[in-house]
Structure 1
Amino acid sequence: MAADRLTADTSAEQAGPRILLYSDDLDTRAQVRLGVGRRLRRGAPDIEWTEVATPAAALEQAEAGGYDLFVFDGEAAKVGGMALARQVKDEVFGCPPVLVLTGRPQDAWLAAWSDADAVVSQPLDPVELQSAVAGLLSGAPAA
């Protein structure tokens, strides 16, 4: 019985953060994953990424729950990440933090309208991106 509890605790400790990444651009998704890295810091468990390319798939995954962070591309075609951020903040109970990627720094005001918890503009700076993701996952207030 104690061994079962130990195994359950160990597996729970080994689970890394789950991040939903929405962008219709394969290159943008790859840049985000590479910029953030496999894990948040040395010795931390690997991040579990779920990538989606359509707004319908993003909403379906968001409503299913179980994510620690949403990363939405504000430059995605048809339904951008800012509109999607606003929608999930309004519709998903217990919505995790949302990071929106904007096309330029001047779009930060629009990301604020979308209720995004943090904004990173393109071109993506890996240090800024990793810092934003780590801060949102730790619960620290966004800059």
Structure 2
Amino acid sequence: MQPTATVLVYSDDATTREQVRLAGGTSLARGAKGEGRRPASDVQEIRYLECATLPAVLEALEERHVDVCVLDGETAPAGGMGVCRQIKDEIYDCPPVLLLIGRPQDAWLATWSRAEATVSHPVDPVALAESLAGLLREQAAEGRLARA
């Protein structure tokens, strides 16, 4: 059985979380498994785990296997860049992070946070799907995806 990837989406804005889901692959059917379609044909189906607060992110990362995190750098009070830096320091075997940044010029800040990829607001569905698929390919190549 092919693994299903779990993608954690952190934003205090429900619209941003929805944009990420729509760009990265939405659920075809709302079944018990909550599986969705793929952001690219050669990567796994995605199961989304949405978080609106930092405590929810930390709890999810401690209790569940997460394959990729998508963090909104514009979230308040705990922005995605700071959250990325924190989880890279505190979470053992932290998953790769795709950081949503306010403007392309902020990409240099993502290097401080140690994010593996960035996409600028407003969310570009093609760029987000490509970045997410790239991170999932790397996880699959390293054998790090959880089995569904």
* Secondary structure of residue in 1 paired with 2:70: strand
CA contact (8 A) 2:73 2:102 kept: yes
- Give me the identity figure in percent: 52
Q: Which runs of 5+ in 2 are unaligned?
A: 26-36, 140-148
Q: Partner letter of residue 98 of structure 2?
A: L
Alpha-carbon deviation of 1:41? 3.1
* Secondary structure of residue in 1 paired with 2:19: helix
- Paired residues for 1:38-53 under 5 Å: 38-42=37-41, 45-53=44-52
Q: What TM-score do the two structures reach when normalised by structure 2? A: 0.81
CA contact (8 A) 2:43 2:136 kept: no
* Secondary structure of residue in 2 paired with 1:139: helix
Q: Identify the match of residue 5 of structure 2 among 12, 17, 33.
A: 17
Q: CA RMSD in A?
A: 1.6
* Secondary structure of residue in 1 paired with 2:16: helix
Q: What TM-score do the two structures reach when normalised by structure 1? A: 0.84
| Bigger Rg, which one | 1
CA distance in 2, matches of 1:44, 1:71: 17
How many pairs align?
128
Choose between structure 1 and 2 for higher RCO, CA contacts under 8 A separated by at least 6 residues.
2
Cα-to-partner distance string for 1:48-68 (whole Å, 9 max, x where unaligned): 000010111011111224111
Give the equivalent residue in structure 2 for 1:55: 54
Structure whose residues are more often helix by fraction: 1
Q: Partner letter of residue 136 of structure 1?
A: L
Cα-to-partner distance string for 1:48-94 (whole Å, 9 max, x where unaligned): 00001011101111122411101100000100000000001011111
CA distance in 1, matches of 2:16, 2:88: 23
* Secondary structure of residue in 1 paired with 2:114: coil
1:110 aligns with 2:98: no
